Chain A
């Protein structure tokens, strides 16, 4: 530690007189005094209350319909049918009905939801190949081993998209009908695109591309995931540009949920034509479901949701209530602290030496 200094003389070894070395750096020493703490608590109580009330009002303005269709309506038949694996090939559809008492104003979003489906298991989440999905050709033919056992089919052909996540893709489809006051039923148009993050659709997922080759040719020699009906280049029969890895439904599914209960966006109300220009009108509705996804294995439930949104997102009452609770706690604490301060600390008699 003995530092040899260049200068000589009687005080050669004298340490520098810098604020840093002498530990005299100018500093600010905040204190937990009554002057700062008490106003802080009252102020926080106020802020939280304002936020809570504002959020509560916002959330209350949201309209939401939620339907568990696992065994509802005519779906109990399908539910029974799906219990048996041998029936997996057969199609089954059913209908559930609901009514809307108050018109949904503005954009209406259609979600499907799953309960008790663990998309967040470590091995499940690892079982995918981002390189394949971003269009790397070597990965298309040679998926990562993480995808096992969904990396090659029994014939040894590579599976695309590989892995458990893609293989377990949700494959129910819905068509919504509005039964207006006139009695006529009008299909509710759902816009099934633009339901993904921009970055996912444009950066994270890309189709392998070669000049002069169609998508189907691109995926030649590649097997579809075993649970899928159609290969990846035929996911959307209506829109050829919505196929391959950039299929919106696929992308939505591939963004794994953090918790076993989750909802995923299915479509957005298309408001070009009457009577849906202002949203969903009051009346009865029915949803025709092509019931494919089996949930009984894992004791899961399936749901659909129709909801409007605000700047705050969907209908989640937790934050507003939490803010109100925090506000009252903060206020309570503030009062307790004030009392304590008043009784013990105010005259500073505890502060005397």
Chain B
């Protein structure tokens, strides 16, 4: 639609220029209107009453299957071609269209309602010097509005002033990014002075230049010009629509972006739909079926041409040709008539049924109590309902470590201060003492503000601090000052920290307990209690943390006027920036760090630097310039940071423990048994990762070798990878065996497949981020992939979010295997989106991973249930469904094909038209849905016990092109029986009273009854799990068939609708004949016996794991 709209837009020369910069002036509607910015009304609905029908139909007919059936219907309206009444296609098509339309309509009505509700919310707007209540939709860009506590933010606002000191505002961003911790925003001082003075606000005419509307939630760039002075604007000064004001009495804001331009609305754009491999296969198959249909019709057309010249031309005495139609034209028309008759090979209800099955299986995931985490009251959630069966085919899992394998509940465990390690207990003989629950805890009662939940066991550290050790004090002072935690002190002394990352929370809490209590912060100051004394530091600059910098610094001025930069960050990063005088300390600290990492702890290095007053003045000036720059602001800032963060003095290092989640080792073992390869991609240090690898069973002592790749040049990386590979498999070729093939629609997609290589023995590979960067280069990619895929376990450490995604894409590209990525943090989003299936752990680190995931739950261990139970069942059910669905439709259609040879290729149907209409929709719809919603080969307990049951899915065993061909052969056999047995049985046969039974109508009834009985029996054979619902569906459908048939054949229906129910009396006159029933019995028997025999022999000769387990399960 978008393209259509833009096309017309161009046509009328109305195409809007893309906005390059936004300019607006406060309180000046006239000025702002000249830019034609949109107002604050939003419209998420797609249709209105008048456009619904045409637009919705247009959308629906864009689907290939629907368009095809529309085309068929048009064909049926041509009398010369029409071999079936219009209703045979119209009724199913209408039903499918109506179902979709009703769903779309109800969705759209809901959107209309919510739009209306949102647009009609009121807010105080400053107009002509007075505050007036206005509807949200009437708010314009450049208006000043007043928000009160707990109100939703109306539009994207520039914060002007607030009721809180220092113009602070607290907001909750749950609706925006799902995170529930409060975030703080601060207005510029120059606007903050306005306060709630209405006159001053009305007289405010600041001008804003800022970026055009975009969807980046964490970035904002702009300048505010007030009275000729320019002030930098960043994300901290902007309130985004979707946030809620908290703990703030009121605030004033200037509308920058309204309605659809807001970052919230810009973010709700189209998401890329993931499609499963079965979807792709289905599209290919449907195309094959089209081809097959065309060839069948062609054969019948040729047959018709021959028949017309030999027989038809002489039969014209009884059946003259229509005027203007000769034999070749008849054949041509026959082609189209047969397209109509055989249309059922392309099943109209296929796509609808597939959607229903997936939806059902998604609901099972939502409903599963065994994937519900009571502690956080979180059930599992299938956020995408279209990927279920792929859960049963996973071959590679890419997992984050922190928060995914571990709990992400951080506890401050150990530290190294000035070369001395604290946190471990030694007995008198110097032996390390195991710390357990009974170990005596450090008493923090001397500290009134201590957190009672904090536990520490090493008394010496407290003593050191209380003795007044300067390094130790500086160490904890740094922890108390250098962070982004927000304190909340509802009651005097009851401190509560709101931290964006649990690491920080743990560190600040540790500092608090050791006597350096962080109490409150303002944008310009930090107040802490140091050993009982209140000290207020002036905060000069905050050098933010990000994934590239991997460090954070603050520059503060102490009450004595001393300028200090405190820095904490990843050890490697800090060590690069140390003053040479710290070299000795550095070595000791590195030793400690290695020990900590060996214990699986997360480490940070701490350092400080005293600053010179004059240097600081000058730096600050440049910092201001850089931060108000409109271009390359980030690069300039980075340079400045780099300049000041050098020659640091090392203080020590911290070690924070992140415990493994429950059941992680067992889960990993299970998944490994299911032949799923698990790669851990973590940002942690190599030693930490290695250790976690051991503790969660991924690295085991029995492994032959664990290769570690940590080289610094591409050549070295290549060599190390090759060496590893040669060791695992000496005979492996130098060049990878890449199988290039084509797949997809029209075979347009080129695929490359790197073969798995056989390795005996188990190996593991650990590669660090530095080497990974080289290995992911084009020339080394395959080398990495080959080596990594030979290993049982792969751990990549120190990887960036981008590298995570690259690794996933590498495997996706060359392995043609289904991948799953699981993670919990914002840094996992890229990998979650890149993988076939993304799973989010709803844990401690906010909700971003969950919001971009396809499935989410609270604990890593639920992954095994998701894959081994739900995934496996979904895959099994989908495959059973597809196999059966194609079987039943092909069988149905092929009978027409055989009949063609007896009816002069005249496109006469075998069945009653009503049977054709109802076959897919009424008679067989529910039983097959019942099978594909309830079937289980073995129950969930056995699925867990025997993870090897998972492998058929990975190998695509249950449904593939081969299985499809087998289905067709089976259908072919069944249809031969279904046509020729009744044909032979009805030859010259009469009723027991001598009257007709070999007539067309009786034969049609016989053929369709045989067909229905046979497909039902086949369904019964395929169903392994017979619940009461299945029974009801099967028997109910058969009963419905007979009830409907007798109704259609009744006198009443004929007398009312003479032309559409000509089969009057057929059911009564033929279904009371023994030979009819004997024929039905014989056809069913002949269709079923070979299938049963074949399956039985297969079970006896080559039983699959499933067969064995089913057998076992039978024995109670």
Contacts and interface: CB of A to CB of B under 8 A. Distances in A.
A31 B1074 contact: no
Contacts of A261: 987-988
Contacts of B1059: 130-131, 144
Contacts of B368: 15, 21-22
Most chain B beta carbons < 10 A, residue from A26, A122, A352: A122
B1093 A333 contact: yes
5 tightest Cβ-Cβ pairs between the two chains A and B: A199-B1065, A258-B1003, A345-B1100, A21-B367, A168-B318
Interface stretch (B144-152, B282-290, B902-910): B902-910
Contact of B990 (A2, A15, A33, A313): A313
Contacts of A37: 1092-1093, 1096
B379 A134 contact: no
A313 B1101 contact: no
A51 interface: yes
Interface string A220-236: 00000000000000000
B992 A311 contact: yes
Interface in A89-135: 107, 109, 111, 113, 116, 118-125, 127, 130-131, 134
A41 B1093 contact: yes
Interface residues of A, number: 107
Contacts of B1027: 25-27
Given A1-B363, A118-B315, A203-B1065, 12 more contacts: A27-B1030, A109-B990, A125-B908, A149-B323, A199-B1064, A259-B986, A265-B994, A298-B315, A318-B987, A322-B985, A323-B1082, A333-B1093
Contacts, number: 298
Contacts of B1086: 326
Interface string B702-726: 0000000000000000000000000
Interface stretch (A6-14, A71-79, A208-216, A270-278): A6-14
Interface string A184-209: 00000000000111111001100000
B903 A118 contact: yes
Interface of B: 83, 311, 314-315, 317-320, 322-323, 337, 362-364, 366-370, 372, 374, 377-379, 381-383, 385, 873, 902-904, 906-908, 934, 936, 940, 981, 983-1004, 1024-1030, 1051, 1054-1055, 1058-1059, 1062, 1064-1065, 1068-1069, 1073-1075, 1078-1079, 1082, 1085-1086, 1089-1090, 1092-1093, 1095-1097, 1099-1103, 1107-1108, 1110-1114
A55 interface: yes
Interface string A304-340: 0000011111111011001100100110010011001
27 contacts: A11-B377, A13-B377, A16-B367, A23-B940, A26-B1028, A29-B1026, A32-B1092, A37-B1093, A55-B1078, A109-B990, A118-B315, A118-B904, A119-B1000, A123-B319, A130-B1058, A258-B902, A260-B904, A261-B987, A299-B311, A313-B1075, A314-B989, A314-B994, A326-B1086, A337-B1096, A351-B1103, A351-B1107, A353-B1108
A315 B1075 CA distance: 12
Most chain B beta carbons < 10 A, residue from A109, A168, A333: A333
A340 B991 CA distance: 44
A346 to B, nearest CB: 9
Given A130-B1058, A134-B1058, A313 B987 contact: no
B984 A12 contact: no
Contacts of B996: 197, 252, 255, 264-265
A159 interface: no
A232 B1085 CA distance: 47
B990 A314 contact: yes
B988 A113 contact: yes
Given A31-B1110, A326-B1086, A122 B377 contact: no
A204 B1054 contact: yes
Contact of B999 (A40, A127, A258, A319): A258
Given A1-B381, A14-B379, A29-B1110, A199 B1026 contact: no
Given A118-B311, A330-B1089, A318 B1058 contact: no
A27 B1026 contact: yes
A309 B990 contact: yes
A27 B930 CA distance: 13
Nearest to A146: B79
A25 B934 contact: yes
Contacts of B369: 14-15, 17, 22
Given A15-B372, A22-B369, A255-B999, A122 B337 contact: yes
Contacts of B1054: 130, 134, 203-204
A42 interface: no
B377 A29 contact: no
B988 A32 contact: no
A15 to B, nearest CB: 4
A13 B998 contact: no
Given A29-B1110, A265-B994, A136 B1058 contact: yes
A103 to B, nearest CB: 19
A106 to B, nearest CB: 11
A340 B1108 contact: no
A164 interface: yes
A32 B83 contact: no
B382 to A, nearest CB: 6
Nearest to B341: A122
A119 B996 CA distance: 14
B934 A27 contact: yes
A353 B942 CA distance: 14
A351 B995 contact: no
Nearest to A16: B367
A27 B994 contact: no
Contacts of A16: 367
A293 B311 CA distance: 18
B1000 A125 contact: yes
Interface string A269-297: 00000000000000000000000001001
Contact of B1058 (A131, A252, A268): A131
A264 B988 CA distance: 9
A261 B992 CA distance: 20
Contacts of A1: 362-363, 366, 381-383, 385
Contacts of A309: 990, 992-994
Contacts of A326: 1082, 1085-1086, 1089
A113 B998 CA distance: 12
A314 B1068 CA distance: 19
A229 to B, nearest CB: 16
